[in-house]
Structure 1
Amino acid sequence: MTDEPADTTTIAFVCVQNAGRSQMAYAFAQRERERQGLRGEIALVTGGTRPADQVHPAVVDAMDDIGIDITDRTPREVGVDDLRESEYVITMGCSAADVCPAGWGGESRDWDLDDPDDQPPATVARIRDEIERRVGALFDEVAAD
């Protein structure tokens, strides 16, 4: 459930484990929402269909390298209600089909990104930078609507 006003646009970032790509996307989205002054207009959700026990350490390090601290993040399960209340569901190269509610009217996009788990730091940084770019473009699009 969201505590945002009724005219709020909700964006969900979903992955299987919620331990890498979706955590990075969520952190970039939080930053972008602040940068664009959209706190009351955009609500954010992140979760996984089968969440891991912790965010991948390489992802924490890659985000720390650019000044974003996600050490306190814990993967969480995304549920049907999270998605039902979302206008956009962004998956990261994995599917949320097993939790997408029947009759859901939102827009689903798959960014088809490589999984950063067990990747070398340069690869994780490349994935991180692509996520940052896509989040910025998504916010520009949503803010223009």
Structure 2
Amino acid sequence: MTQKPGDQPVRAAEEEIVPAAETVLDGSTEDSSTPGVLFVCVRNGGKSQMAAGLMRRELAEAGAEGSILVSSAGTEPGSRINALSADVLHDLGADITGETPTPVTPEAMREAGLVVVIGAEAQVDPPEGVTVERWETDEPSDRGIEGRERMELVRDDIHTHVRELKNRLLS
């Protein structure tokens, strides 16, 4: 039976996540004990890159580097990383300056197994078996907060979600 996009459940933040299937070179899949997460936003220049950078930093600090496959993508990727996003992440010791926005693909979603869509704008049509979670994030510009202060608030909100996800995936 073919699933329609609307049939794919979107998981709440507190639900348990099933580890991803890992694609091997011959194209087959095998169960992997290494979970994966693909962070998605529209442009893949700010929020999803921030989430991926923060997850990598959190894993490294926990001595768990490489225990979760971390990636990011955009539904309409831009051409570069948002400089202010990179700057406020650097303040926390995370570096995304070498990253490049990339498009979200069914293969990337399958490889991760878990797709975290950040914000309300990005929409994904996940393949069967992929778990989707949406993080509604704070948008300080709705309150008239702009510039660096806005980006720091966005970063801190995403960081809270990333810590919670890291704890769920590592438990």
Q: What is the root-mean-square deviation in Å for CA atoms of aligned residues?
A: 2.4
Matched, 1:112 2:139: no
Q: How many residues align?
A: 140
* Alignment partners' CA distance in 2, 1:116 and 1:15: 17
Query: How far off its partner does 1:2 sit?
Result: 5.9
DSSP-derived class of the 2:85 partner: helix
| Change in CA separation of 1:116 and 1:49 when aligned onto 2, cut-off 3 Å | farther
Contact 1:20 1:116 in 2 (8 A): no
- Alpha-carbon separation, structure 1, partners of 2:110 and 2:139: 26
Which residue in the other structure is 1:54 paired with?
Answer: 80
Instruction: Output the TM-score relative to the length of structure 2.
Output: 0.72
2:166 corresponding residue in structure 1: 139
Q: Percent identity of the aligned residues?
A: 32
Asked if residue 20 in structure 1 is aligned to residue 53 in structure 2, the reply is no
Separation in 2 of the partners of 1:20 and 1:34?
21
User: What's the CA shift for 1:116?
Assistant: 8.2
5 Å-filtered alignment, 1:59-78, equals: 59-78=85-104
Moved more, 9-18 or 88-97: 88-97
> In terms of mean alpha carbon deviation, does 12-21 or 68-77 score higher?
68-77
- In the superposition, the TM-score normalised over structure 1's length comes to 0.84
Unaligned runs of 5+ in 2: 1-21, 25-30
Aligned residue runs from structure 1 range 91-110, under 5 A = 91-93=117-119, 94-98=121-125, 100-101=126-127, 103=128, 105-110=129-134
- Map of 2:105 onto structure 1: 79
Matched, 1:121 2:148: yes
Residues 90 and 109, structure 1, Cα contact 8 Å, conserved in 2: yes
Larger CA Rg, structure 1 vs 2:
2
Give distance in 2, aligned partners of 1:8 and 1:22: 21
Does the aligned pair in 2 maintain the 1:15–1:22 contact within 8 Å? yes
Give the CA deviation at 1:44: 1.0
Q: Secondary structure at the match of 1:69?
A: coil
Contact 2:48 2:72 in 1 (8 A): yes
* 4+ residue runs over 4 A deviation: 114-117
SS in 2 for 1:62: helix
Q: 1:11 aligns with which of 37, 57, 71?
A: 37
For residue 96 of structure 1, report the CA deviation from its aligned partner: 3.5
Note closer, same or farther for the CA distance 1:84–1:58 as it changes in structure 2 (3 Å cut).
Answer: same
